[in-house]
Chain A
Amino acid sequence: MISLFERYDASSDRFFDEVLTAEGNPRGHYDKMVHRFGQFSLDDIRTRRQIVNIFFRNQGITFTVYGKDEGIERIFPFDLIPRIIPSHEWANIERGLIQRIVALNAFLSDIYSSQKILKDRIVPAELVLGSKHFKREFVGVRPPLGVYIHVTGSDIIRDRDGRYLVLEDNLRTPSGVSYMLQNRQALKRAFPVLFDRYKVRPIDNYPQELLRTLQEISPSSRPEPNVVVLTPGIYNSAYFEHSFLARQMGVELTEGRDLVVNNNKVYTRTTRGLQRVDVIYRRVDDDFLDPLVFRADSKLGVAGLINAYRKGNVALANAIGTGVADDKVIYSFVPKIIRYYLGEEPILDNVETWLASNPKEMKYILENLDTLVVKAANESGGYGMLVGPESTQEERERFAEKIVANPRNYIAQPTISLSRHPSFFNDAELGGCHIDLRPYVLYGNSPTIVPGGLTRVALKRGSLVVNSSQGGGSKDTWVIDE
């Protein structure tokens, strides 16, 4: 153990440390990395940090924080030490995620057609049909290739024993993939020497893979289908990502007002007249897509889009109404869903989950609020949750009232001590920070995963929340061939 790592406290008795074993030695796949970092002084680290900061600033990689006036743009914090996943672990994650996504897609396909799984009482019908993300209007509408969830990003964590667990499925418009790509670029600039001892699997082909997936779902037979990205606009916190992906794929970045529907066909308004659109990679939520069908006050959408979609004249990625399957209540049924449709045992486990809608489980939740994490079923981005051990008595009481008032809307999970990874605090010392992993699954003709994902890291000391909106940062994520 050399220099930088000397004073690092892994607290292996309480947490699973990604880099060090319980005995304090580097795990096999981290050995060369620890040695490399051992050769750097703090001055080296600061120099590299500057290279990274300039890179991010020049790329305009910022996100917006809400709640404060006007929304402030910040650089997304990036930690210099990459997270490494050995290939055998990755193979398991990959198989597990693909199994999960295929099953969830079968589930969506079923509940938007014959609803067999509800009739067989595997999943309670009221949980599905009563979900605010269930779009009744789309029962019987079959999307191209029968695929609903073209781009997904499931959040995976590791518990105290290092077991990979799925924490949540994001089946609507998961964000963050641009950080995955940019983190790799940034780290290559700052630490080219880190890469020479490892066979890191490349991820740079993600935009091409995404474009291929989007072209595959085109309803038209034209050889070069016209794909566009639909963004809510410059005030959206993920606007950078939308424009980044559009540029990388070489397609137009459009806002709702750039699109017009005529005779149930979608067009972009260009200086050369109207141009037909075949596929829309939309980063606008269902409710804002079409003021004629959903929220009438939406200015982000396109009037008539939904009818064009129902007519099969345009494909949407992801399809409409997919949120019903990433609902945190439905989440607890995913193992059953996998068994039901695929006849297989789940490869990746769920985190144990209690449903407030079940009276017995509600009692347990209310009695154990101080140790559980309670989440609202339909929220995302770390909003609307209660972290039991970090909460005050008053917060718990307020939450208990909410749970009793609307049990369907709440679930609880044990407070999992997420695995930790050494990260830099203020470039001065190494500390163990909690991390998770979000790989991105693309699903056109068949599901594929670019090897890696976004590792989010809770850079606030002791914090468990890794969401960028809550002060989290990220790391480059390596899948290596040994």
Chain B
Amino acid sequence: MLSRVAESLFWMSRYVERAENTARFLEVNFNLLLDLNDITAIDHPNYWSPLIRVTGDPLNFTDRYPEYNAHTVTDYLVFDRQNSNSIISSIGMARENARSIIDSISSEMWEQINNLYHFLQSVSPQQVHNDPFSFYREIKNASHLFQGITDNIFSRTEGWEFIQIGKYLERADNTARLIDVKYHMLMPKVGQEREHDPVHDSFDTIQWMAVLKSCSALEAFRKVYLSKIDPDNILWFLVLDRTFPRSIAFSICAAQEALWRISGSSRHRYANNADRLIGKMEAELIYTTVEDMYRKGLHRFLEEIEQGLNRIGEQVHLLYFAYHTPKIEPNDVSEALPFTGIAGGRANWSQSQQQQQ
């Protein structure tokens, strides 16, 4: 299939997943704060700055907002168009990508993205501040609906695999970041990393439960661990569990299988760098224990996963989207990326309006 179409499918899927996860980040934070039993804490910067640290660019935030609180962080992560990872930007990008390949996806898929886009245009920040939970539920449901439609009517062609890769790479990355938020909140003082000492008090258990809830994982977790809400178990479940579809290990396996179906690789035999890197990451996860994570430092462990996922994404781009002939290969890799993947590289609007005969 055309590289451009594959790339747009990949990013369309990725951006929808990103929007859903941003909604989950915000939701878990509200959940946590409501459990504090201290209404004044809701606007405490320590509870909000970690969100910006793990989802985006703190400098971009502090340039334009006076302080970290519920309002500013919500505005930044939901409505701010200057933040390319905000929910509104993500859905805008998903829509642009879908629009550019509108003849390759079904009209139901397009309509769903388009509806979500228009829903976001119609919501005011005040509505979200008044009733955050309904709003985030709406975003999550819209994303699920989109993925459900895609599941049910998109042919299992190569394009489907790119949709899967986009979705699961993004999800693995976001789950890692979500756990990281919790980590940051337990360690409010930046720089002092208490590597070997996860806090075990009951208040923290409640917070970990909120993390589970935000991954829609509480019930699935309970089926495995009954009532033992223990941070080690939760960590194991969200990172290493092979059956829960939002865990990091599950997502990486799913992305890996999609990559295999495209390239024809199999276990122990990789055909390209993307397959090699994701195979390596999966193998490492299989033999990792929660102990290992603590030994490395949870934050560092998660960071390495995020970096690994980035490298895999880069390889997918170079392999399948940015194909170039060896003769005209530029020295600088960034020049070899003709599409930004987002909505860049689009034909010039005014030129494409040439007169019709």
Residues of chain A whose beta carbon lies under 8 Å from any beta carbon of chain B: 58, 60, 64, 66, 71, 153, 170, 172-175, 232-238, 243, 246-247, 252-258, 260, 262-263, 268-271, 273-274, 284-285, 288, 297-300, 326, 379-381, 383, 468-469
Q: Are A271 and B103 in contact (CB under 8 A)?
A: no
Tell me whether A243 and B103 are in contact in the complex, defined as CB-CB below 8 angstroms, given that A271-B262, A288-B351 are known contacts: yes
Residues of chain A with a CB closer than 8 A to B262's CB: 271
B39 within 8 A of A: no
Tell me whether A299 and B339 are in contact in the complex, defined as CB-CB below 8 angstroms, given that A253-B103, A269-B323 are known contacts: no
Q: How many residues of B are counted as interface, with CB atoms below 8 angstroms from the partner's CB atoms?
A: 34
Q: Are B355 and A383 in contact (CB under 8 A)?
A: yes
Q: Which chain B residue has the least Cβ–Cβ distance from A60?
A: B107
Q: Are A260 and B325 in contact (CB under 8 A)?
A: yes
Q: Are B348 and A269 in contact (CB under 8 A)?
A: no
Inter-chain CA distance A319–B96, complex, in Å, is 33
B352 within 8 A of A: yes
Q: Are B357 and A174 in contact (CB under 8 A)?
A: yes
Tell me whether A300 and B348 are in contact in the complex, defined as CB-CB below 8 angstroms, given that A60-B107, A236-B353, A270-B323 are known contacts: yes
Q: Which chain B residue has the least Cβ–Cβ distance from A155?
A: B357
Residues of chain A with a CB closer than 8 A to B99's CB: 234
Tell me whether A175 and B357 are in contact in the complex, defined as CB-CB below 8 angstroms, given that A235-B352, A260-B325, A274-B323 are known contacts: yes
- The 8 Å CB contact of A300, one of B3, B100, B351, is B351
**Distance in Å: Cβ of B273 to nearest Cβ of chain A:** 15
**Looking at chain A's contact residues, is the secondary structure mostly helix, strand, loop, or mixed?**
loop
Q: Which chain A residue has the least Cβ–Cβ distance from B101?
A: A234
Q: Are B357 and A269 in contact (CB under 8 A)?
A: no
Residues of chain B whose beta carbon lies under 8 Å from any beta carbon of chain A: 1-4, 6, 99-100, 102-103, 107, 158, 162, 262, 320-321, 323-325, 327-328, 338-339, 345-349, 351-357
Inter-chain CA distance A233–B350, complex, in Å, is 11
Q: Which chain A residue has the least Cβ–Cβ distance from B327?
A: A262
Most buried by A among B3, B102, B346, B347: B347
Tell me whether A271 and B3 are in contact in the complex, defined as CB-CB below 8 angstroms, given that A243-B103, A300-B348 are known contacts: yes
Inter-chain CA distance A236–B350, complex, in Å, is 9
- The 8 Å CB contact of A269, one of B4, B103, B328, B349, is B4
Q: Are A170 and B339 in contact (CB under 8 A)?
A: no
Q: What are 15 A-B residue pairs whose CB atoms fall within 8 Å in the complex? A: A153-B357, A236-B352, A243-B102, A246-B103, A252-B2, A253-B103, A257-B338, A263-B327, A269-B4, A271-B1, A271-B321, A274-B325, A285-B354, A297-B351, A380-B355
Inter-chain CA distance A297–B350, complex, in Å, is 12
- The 8 Å CB contact of B2, one of A64, A66, A243, A268, is A268
Tell me whether A256 and B356 are in contact in the complex, defined as CB-CB below 8 angstroms, given that A243-B103, A247-B103, A271-B262 are known contacts: no
